[in-house]
Amino acid sequence: MNNPNETNQLFWSPGRPHLGPRFLGERNLSTKKYKKPHKLLQNPDAIVIGSGIGGLSIASILAQKKKMRVLLLEANTIPGGCTHCHELDGFEWNSGIDSIGDMDPRVGRGVFRPTIDFITQGTLEWAKMPDVHEVCTFGEDVYEWFSSPEKNIEWVERRFPGQGNIREYYRLEESIQWWAWAWAVTKLIPGWVPEALRELFYRVLGGDWRKYMGRTVLEVFQNELGFSPKLASVFSYMYGNHGRTPVNAPFSFHAANLMHYRDGAYYPVGGPGQIAECVVPIVERAGGQLAVNCAVEQILIERNRVQGVRLESGEEIRCPLVISDASAHTTFMELIDREIAVRHGYAQKFDDIRPSPAHLYLFLGYDEEIELPKQIFWQMPEYPDVAPYDLDNADLEYKRNMRLEGMGGYLLSPSARDPVYRERYPGKSTVIVLAEAPYAWAQKSWADPEFKAKLEADIAKNLERIALRHMPQLEGKTPVVRRAGVPMGCNPRAWESCSLGLEPSGDRFVKHTHWLRPKTKIKGLYLTGQDPFSAGFAGSMFSARITYAAMTGNWFSLIQKVPRYKAAPIDGELGVGGGARPISAE
For 82-126, what is each residue's pLDDT tens digit? 999 999 999 999 998 899 998 887 776 667 888 999 999 999 999
The pLDDT confidence band at residue 454, using thresholds 50, 70 and 90, is very high
Residues 457-508 have pLDDT tens digits of 999 999 999 999 999 999 999 999 999 998 876 677 899 999 899 999 999 9
Q: Which residues fall within 8 angstroms of residue 371, CB to CB, at 6 or more apart?
A: 5, 416, 473
Does position 217 have pLDDT exceeding 50, yes or no? yes
pLDDT of residue 558: 66
Look at residue 457 and give its three-state secondary structure: helix
The pLDDT confidence band at residue 25, using thresholds 50, 70 and 90, is confident
Residues 162-202 have pLDDT tens digits of 999 999 999 999 999 999 999 999 999 999 999 999 999 99
User: Among positive and negative, which fits the CA dihedral 239, 243, 248, 252?
Assistant: negative
- State the amino acid at position 176 in one-letter form: I
Q: Percent of the chain scored above 90 by pLDDT?
A: 82
Among 95, 101, 98, smallest CA distance to 116 is for 101
pLDDT of residue 487: 84
Q: Which residues fall within 8 angstroms of residue 17, CB to CB, at 6 or more apart?
A: 569, 573, 574
- The values of phi and psi at residue 524, to 5°, are 90, -5
Task: Give me the count of residues in the chain.
Answer: 586
CB-neighbour burial class of residue 14 (10 A; exposed 0-12, middle 13-18, buried 19+): exposed
Mean pLDDT of the chain: 90
Q: How far apart are CA 581 and CA 573, in angstroms?
A: 15
Q: How far apart are CA 65 and CA 560, in angstroms?
A: 13
Superfamily per CATH, domain 30-126+268-353+498-584: FAD/NAD(P)-binding domain (3.50.50.60)
CB-neighbour burial class of residue 511 (10 A; exposed 0-12, middle 13-18, buried 19+): middle
Top pLDDT among 283 and 29 is at 283
Does position 438 have pLDDT exceeding 90, yes or no? yes
- State the amino acid at position 362 in one-letter form: L
Distances (CA, A) of 95 to 78, 369, 371, 418, 490: 12, 22, 22, 15, 5
Pairing of strands 429-437, 409-412: antiparallel
CATH 3.50.50.60 residue ranges of the chain are 30-126+268-353+498-584
Distances (CA, A) of 569 to 179, 286, 577: 43, 21, 10
Give the single-character DSSP code of 216: B
Among 509, 235, 471, smallest CA distance to 362 is for 471
Give the mean model confidence (pLDDT) for residues 132-160. 96
What is the DSSP annotation of 248-265? TSBHHHHHHHHHHTTT-E
Residues 462-475 have pLDDT tens digits of 999 999 999 999 99
| Cα-Cα end-to-end distance for the chain | 39
R_g of the chain computed on alpha carbons = 23
pLDDT of residue 550: 95
Q: How far apart are CA 255 and CA 253, in angstroms?
A: 5
Q: How far apart are CA 292 and CA 143, in angstroms?
A: 43
The pLDDT confidence band at residue 525, using thresholds 50, 70 and 90, is very high
Q: Percent of the chain scored above 70 by pLDDT?
A: 90
